[in-house]
Amino acid sequence: MALNLGDVVPDFEADTTEGRISFHKWLGDGWGVLFSHPKNFTPVCTTELGAAAKLKPEFDKRNVKLIGLSVDLLSNHDQWTQDIKDATGATLNFPLIADHDKTVANLYGMIHPNASDTTTVRSVFVVGPDKKLKLSLTYPASTGRNFDEILRVIDSLQLTAKFSVATPADWKNGDEVIIVPSVSDDAAKEKFPAGWKAVKPYLRYVAQPTAGKPS
């Protein structure tokens, strides 16, 4: 199944290291990140899960729930959790789905036949409070993910969902943003009364809006 940005992501029930869940219900009214792993006891995945566990407080600040997936048995997850702690110093602090029959992997298109007929690629799905897909990333099995980048993108997604702005290349939280082209200069004067810097008529930089009334 191919998921497109803006699609409502498939709901599913699954066993996890924190009990059985119904995905949409588990997400609640917040954001979520679902990311897949080819199988348990793989070296790159071990480092990724440790990295994500260490960054969980940052995801919590953004009202984002983390959930991993491995196409392996739940009975193997406990030993892998211990391996993750031994290798990275981090204790797994979010659920890990046991998807041994590949039900969820197939629902979300995590298996790419030209890469492998049996194992998932390193997929990342960011889901908004409306249960719609806001971002998808696909890495080859050989390349570990950058969770700082995933946090950066979530900052952009949450900011641009609230204000009439977009984020430029290499943007980080706190940097200047761009007024979207659909906002005319007259409307921008109301939304951004402190003014902006126009590099081109269509490229207008403005200080990053802060929490408060959406613009």
Residue 158 is a catalytic residue: no
Say whether pLDDT at 3 is over 80: yes
Q: What's the mean pLDDT in 196-203?
A: 96
Higher pLDDT, 122 or 71: 71
Among the listed residues 27, 45, 64, 110, the single catalytic one is: 45
Say which CATH superfamily domain 163-206 falls into.
Antioxidant, Horf6; Chain A, domain2 (3.30.1020.10)
Output the pLDDT for position 101. Answer: 87
Q: What is the DSSP secondary-structure string of the chain?
A: ----TTPBPPP-EEEETTEEEEHHHHHTTSEEEEEEESSSS-HHHHHHHHHHHHHHHHHHHTTEEEEEEESS-HHHHHHHHHHHHHHHS----S-EEE-TT-HHHHHTT---TTT-SSS--EEEEEE-TTSBEEEEEEE-TTS---HHHHHHHHHHHHHHHHSSEE--TT--TTS-EEE-TTS-HHHHHHH-TT--EEEETTEEEEPPP-SSS--
Output the pLDDT for position 1. Answer: 58
Output the pLDDT for position 41. Answer: 61
Output the pLDDT for position 2. Answer: 76
Output the pLDDT for position 110. Answer: 83
Q: Write down the domain spans for the chain.
A: 13-145, 163-206
pLDDT tens digit string along 82-125?
889 999 999 999 999 999 888 998 899 887 655 454 455 678 99
pLDDT tens digit string along 134-193?
999 988 878 899 999 999 999 999 999 999 999 999 999 999 999 999 999 999 999 999
Output the pLDDT for position 90. Answer: 95
Output the pLDDT for position 89. Answer: 95
CATH T-level assignment (fold) for domain 13-145: Glutaredoxin (3.40.30)
Higher pLDDT, 114 or 7: 7
Output the pLDDT for position 70. Answer: 87
pLDDT tens digit string along 29-65?
999 999 987 666 678 889 999 999 999 999 999 999 9
* Model confidence band, residue 80 (pLDDT cutoffs 50, 70, 90): confident
